[in-house]
Amino acid sequence: MAIESRDPGNPQANSSRRRVPSVQSVQRLGDAHLVQGRIEQALERYRKAVLLTQNGRDAADSRAILGDAYVYADQTISALRQYRRAIKHSPRRAAPHFSLAELYRRYGKLQAALLEYRAAVECDPQNAWYHYKLGDALADGGYLPEAIGELETACELAAADGFYHFWLSDLYLMVGLLDDAIREMQQAAIFAPSDDYYNMRLAVLYLLGGHPMDAATSLLQSIRLSPTNAIYHCLLADIYCHAIGDNRMAMKHYQLAGDMDAYDREHVRRLRELTTMDSADPIESGTGTV
């Protein structure tokens, strides 16, 4: 094991030799400055981290991080310069390709963004987030079959992450594959059991598929998770009223919706209409049995 040489006559040199900071520690200081809104101090630290890499194997990632900070500071030209230098130095590093894609997309350059997203995926094909972002950009461009393929890959790579199943369901719905959309939203709800929104979206899909009882069950789960959400109560009341024909339950949830959101007169209007219909002549109102 090599022992570091020391100069007894120069303690200051010995101290500085011991205290050469790591790239990661300098970057963490930059992160701390950024969180506090001290942008210039953060940029100074990130630039120092780049210098510490001395164009070694971490140079590309350090430049990508510096580029991200420049984006945060709205210094777009400097960000582009850092991303391009990072890619030139290490073309097989995924991070700078991905960051450059994000910047291109931010400024509406979709085709350029797609090239860089694809490069990031090629460099790191096991990264579910990269596949998702490529799929999302493809969907924006109208390339739905390709977008679905990328989201399917993301779901394979991160099968227990409800987020990816949710967005894959959305794409299936866009191309008219309702059964596939329902299946993926079911997966989203399973893997994110505390997410009330996923259950609400599943209820909507069930309703589109002609399964009102399943829709009501999903919405009841949303309400269990978020009991004061007036929209959920109103939507459930709509299902009971118009799809199931249970006016008693519909009135209950319209009333709850109105109580929770007194400023939304739509809930009150629906409750009044339903009450009027329920008290009218059963033959004239169409609610009587034959």
Reduce the DSSP state of residue 280 to 3 states and report it. Answer: coil
Give all domains of the chain, ordered by start, each with its CATH number: 34-116 (1.25.40.10), 125-192 (1.25.40.10), 195-280 (1.25.40.10)
- Whether the CB-CB separation of 164 and 155 falls below 8 Å is answered with yes
Structure tokens at 220: 């009841």
The 10s digit of each residue's pLDDT in 48-92 is 988 888 766 678 888 999 999 999 999 999 999 999 999 998 999
Residue with tokens 């009330």: 196
pLDDT surpassing 80 at residue 192: yes
Residue with tokens 């009841």: 220
The 10s digit of each residue's pLDDT in 97-146 is 999 999 999 999 999 999 999 999 999 999 999 999 999 999 999 999 99
The 10s digit of each residue's pLDDT in 224-250 is 999 999 999 999 999 999 999 999 999
Find, among 90, 88, 89, 120, the residue nearest to 102 by Cα. Answer: 120
pLDDT (0 to 100) of residue 8: 52
Which bin fits 33, alpha (ψ -120 to 50), beta or left (φ > 0)? alpha
**Can you tell me the distance from the alpha carbon of 98 to that of 7, in angstroms, rounded to the nearest whole number?**
46
Reduce the DSSP state of residue 1 to 3 states and report it. Answer: coil
Lowest-pLDDT range, 128-132, 214-218, 269-273?
269-273
Lowest-pLDDT range, 39-48, 166-175, 219-228?
39-48
pLDDT (0 to 100) of residue 15: 47
Whether this model's pTM surpasses 0.75: yes
Q: Which of 59-68, 151-160, 269-278 is modeled with the greatest confidence?
A: 151-160
Give the C-alpha distances (Å, rounded to integers) separating 212 from 3, 176, 226, 237: 75, 19, 20, 12
pLDDT (0 to 100) of residue 133: 98
- Whether the CB-CB separation of 198 and 166 falls below 8 Å is answered with yes
pLDDT surpassing 80 at residue 162: yes
Query: Mean per-residue pLDDT for 149-177?
Result: 98
pLDDT surpassing 70 at residue 152: yes
Quickly state the pLDDT bin for 23 (edges 50, 70, 90).
confident
pLDDT surpassing 60 at residue 166: yes
Q: pLDDT above 90 covers what percent of the chain? A: 72
Sequence-separated (6 or more) residues with CB below 8 Å from residue 76: 70, 103, 107
Please state the separation of Cα 39 from the chain's center in Å: 26
